[in-house]
Amino acid sequence: MMNMHGQRWRYQLANTEVFVDNAFSWFGWAQERFLVNDEVVQSSGAWLGFRRTFKEPWLTPTGDGELAIKMWSARSGIEIEVLLDGEAVEHNELFEATWHGRRTWPDKNAWTSTKKFSIFTIPDYD
């Protein structure tokens, strides 16, 4: 089984909790998922996946809209952009986790809250 390194972003959109999860192994496997109130709405996984986009119809205070999630690989880690009807949405919290097995995800309680993702952080040995 391969080690998976996961990153999770939490967004609070009115009374709805949205999670965007990304996970990868150093062997080149990447998987992503988009959850609304703990239910998986969309998910994907692929070898050497460097970009992912999810789009979902979303009811806004002004009517029908769209929640768009874009993820891409960068030198410093995974970049993410979440847009609600074209307006950027900032995350409320970050989490990370490590586990074994592609196409699997850790239990909700296995995610650790963090201020900054550690997988791409260069240690300071001062």
Tens of pLDDT, residue by residue over 51-110, are 999 999 998 777 899 999 999 988 767 899 999 999 999 999 999 999 998 899 999 999
Q: Tell me, what's the pLDDT at 126?
A: 58
- Closest to 79 measured CA to CA, from 115, 112, 53: 53
The answer to whether residue 124 is domain-embedded is no
Q: In this structure, is residue 126 part of a structural domain? A: no
Task: Domain of residue 42: give its range.
Answer: 3-114
Give the per-residue pLDDT at 123.
53
- In contact, 98 and 6? CB cutoff 8 Å: yes
The Cα–Cα gap between 50 and 73 comes to 5
Is 10 among the domain residues? yes
For residue 108, tell me if it sits in a domain. Answer: yes
Would you say the pTM of this structure is higher than 0.95? Answer: no
What integer is the mean pLDDT of 12-30?
93
81 domain residue, yes or no:
yes
Domain count for the chain, please give it.
1
CA distance 121 to 103: 25
CATH of residue 96: 2.40.128
Residue 122 lies in a domain: no
Residue at 11 is within a domain: yes
